[in-house]
Structure 1
């Protein structure tokens, strides 16, 4: 029996997949598993969908994935809610004088690989509703997983109410606090601070547009500005034609994150980091009704993402959390989801599923590791800027846009390399 996948039709594979976590990575894995003909459902601990968060970025390598869904309709919906910098670009300022050192122009738009920068909750809602309402993928909310279990022929999750759900494969897309990670590694791997944190905020332009100093950012369409200083950078955007504002300030922080790494922040603390900076930064921050203090969790990719019997695997932040300066965290989780779906389809028979899951890790591992490092290199490029060098070559502090990252087609790549990779595991 054939099933519709938006732009193609594929036969059902009979492979049953359970995904834990309904973030962008988990939803993408579910949508792509559906497209490849697998039977899939999601279990999510949050009791209801809420439009929360602030800015999130998706590169063209994610846009290429979104474009394939529902004949491009999902990408069109996301484009309408995303920042448009085709005229404004990215203006980078020196932290103390406020001088615009360089304006990095936006790349030409590729209709087959669009770029999205928008409100995390609004964009997530589009993807969530597409998976649940249009594709009919079962998404079970308010279902916390207390245990993972695997046998030779299947894997299972045990829910808080004691119910056990089994499948051919379980995907742990349950973030940096992942319980699946403990089973895969065989030990508890606590998240560690990266040594940095961010203050972040999203708010309407109500007060911004009243202030002669800041109204410029709200009266001329979408904008994106960055102030670069010693071990601190401040990024500010206006979006939806200047109606919404958001900013992120990244700074050194060695706070203990054993219990939590997200707190309500204090504007007074933000002002301390902006002491001696361009007064425009404080003029923006003081319009903020509330701020979140977010400690950045980071680690190199885990030694492995796949359990002993090959029936449970990790995806996205549960395996490889990214720094925001990579601008690739959510996109790489999506590439994971595409790749695991292709590998399960190409397995060809149920007895080859564990080998296919191990092939998924092999295909993804080195690429993820390299891209993770770009988060550190971009941060350090800004935080340790040599201003004499920058005066000679202002492009040296441009946000990197590398073809090996952006031109990647996760589905095409997985299809091309799968046969060679799986030979290692059969």
Structure 2
């Protein structure tokens, strides 16, 4: 077992970049979203040989807002991406939260940086394009238009069948989202997502084109640069923010929805259905929602926590949404996906080519409870808003921003935690991870 000390002695350790292909470990990553690209980038930095397979034939700028907390912001800064990300991100100094009638409940300061690092909130497509370009600039091979039809593993390697080609590596990473085909190899059966009981109408558009700056009910979102407002009511919360100095607007409204998600959970939204949700609310809500030229009706998918994220032979790991989909109220789904990839790259470096299964098992041990605590925080955030009384004030409705979550450094922690996790597995054997007790989740900083 390679220790942190021996890794450091060889000139490779926390914050350092290893020589290309120096680890001898080959990694095959399925999916070029934020989880897959982040895993690929850190794996390249740790000296692994990396191949990424992506099903889309071309990169498309899709989606709306995405948020990365300071726990991952410190990683992006370490990669030298701050100057690229920062100009396209939203810059707000507070969240103004109202009840459904428009009374202000709290004006919560949104410090940035926080716990020594920046958070990044911007258009999903813009940030993804920049991360994709950065991965390619490092020489990472990314094959587009890949149809991965099968995952497999043996005692000595793992791999996939993609476009009819058999591709193998020391370790395979399933970063292909909620519908990951890799889940079958991990679980031994086909599992299906289910409705969380909630859905979101979401939109992203140009404020000037839609007249946001001209309407007396909505121009407050554009007059003083980037702005962040929210409204909460029984089983509903509505968040809207502007970016680019008040030029672009993102809106998301979460509401009860028990629709079947058997085949799909993203549809064109109907404005009349969306506006019914805020009937009788502060008139600014309907005015803001109606500015959107189109809506996406996004059903929030839920899965019970998986018993494991790794295959029986421990050469396949699920990361990001493939392993643990998040509610948007956690504001951590993308960040935890990135943390997954960072941690995996580090432990594979420390373990080395001869100990890949040990590294993968240690990775799960290091990550499992932390991820579940972050998921539960998202559930408690939603319930806090959806069950709040109209006269709730201050911290009772403020978004928690705890240091255990946002002050975390996944790379540093992986170097510190690997040896203990690996030693425990070697001495007592591999055990399925356990869920943390709910009281372990603190919403206090």
Aligned to 2:206: 204
Q: 1:20-35, aligned counterparts within 5 Å?
A: 20-35=30-45
Q: 1:3-14, aligned counterparts within 5 Å?
A: 8-11=16-19, 12-14=22-24
1:324 to 304, 323, 328: 328
- 8 Å CA contact 1:58, 1:331 repeated in 2: yes
1:187 to 186, 189, 201: 189
CA 1:320–1:7 in structure 2 vs 1: closer, same or farther (change >3 Å)?
closer
1:25-80 Cα distance to aligned partner (Å, 9 max, x none): 100000010011000010000111111100111100010110110xx2x1221111
1:61 to 42, 66, 71: 71
Aligned to 1:305: 309
| Whole-angstrom distance in 2 between the partners of 1:164 and 1:3 | 35
1:145 to 124, 145, 148: 148
Aligned to 2:118: 114
Alignment gaps of 5+ in structure 1: none
The answer to whether residue 81 in structure 2 is matched with residue 79 in structure 1 is no
CA offset at residue 240 of structure 1?
0.4
CA offset at residue 311 of structure 1?
0.9
1:268 to 265, 272, 277: 272
- 8 Å CA contact 1:67, 1:112 repeated in 2: no
- 8 Å CA contact 2:330, 2:375 repeated in 1: yes
1:179-235 Cα distance to aligned partner (Å, 9 max, x none): 001110000010111111100000001211121221121121000000000000110
Aligned to 2:166: 164
SS in 2 for 1:424: helix
CA 1:5–1:361 in structure 2 vs 1: closer, same or farther (change >3 Å)?
closer
Alignment gaps of 5+ in structure 2: 1-9, 427-445
Aligned to 1:230: 234
Aligned to 1:370: 373
| Whole-angstrom distance in 1 between the partners of 2:12 and 2:313 | 32
| Paired residue total | 413
Give the TM-score normalised by the residue count of structure 2.
0.90
| Whole-angstrom distance in 2 between the partners of 1:144 and 1:104 | 46
Note the aligned Cα RMSD (angstroms).
1.7
Aligned to 2:157: 154
- 8 Å CA contact 1:156, 1:165 repeated in 2: yes
CA 1:251–1:110 in structure 2 vs 1: closer, same or farther (change >3 Å)?
closer
The answer to whether residue 401 in structure 2 is matched with residue 401 in structure 1 is yes
2:257 to 253, 263, 285: 253
- 8 Å CA contact 1:83, 1:116 repeated in 2: yes
Aligned to 2:7: none
- 8 Å CA contact 2:28, 2:50 repeated in 1: yes
| Whole-angstrom distance in 2 between the partners of 1:419 and 1:16 | 21
Deviation beyond 6 Å, 4+ runs, structure 1: 2-7
SS in 1 for 2:425: coil
CA 1:9–1:233 in structure 2 vs 1: closer, same or farther (change >3 Å)?
closer
Aligned to 1:379: 382
| Whole-angstrom distance in 1 between the partners of 2:262 and 2:316 | 26
CA offset at residue 352 of structure 1?
1.1
SS in 2 for 1:303: coil
- 8 Å CA contact 1:5, 1:34 repeated in 2: no
| Whole-angstrom distance in 2 between the partners of 1:319 and 1:310 | 15
CA offset at residue 110 of structure 1?
4.7
- 8 Å CA contact 1:301, 1:365 repeated in 2: no
- 8 Å CA contact 1:33, 1:341 repeated in 2: yes
- 8 Å CA contact 1:305, 1:314 repeated in 2: yes
1:122-150 Cα distance to aligned partner (Å, 9 max, x none): 11111010001x10101111101000010
| Whole-angstrom distance in 1 between the partners of 2:172 and 2:11 | 22
Aligned to 1:215: 219
Q: Greater CA deviation, 108-117 or 301-310? A: 108-117
CA offset at residue 162 of structure 1?
0.9
Aligned to 1:174: 176
The answer to whether residue 291 in structure 2 is matched with residue 283 in structure 1 is no
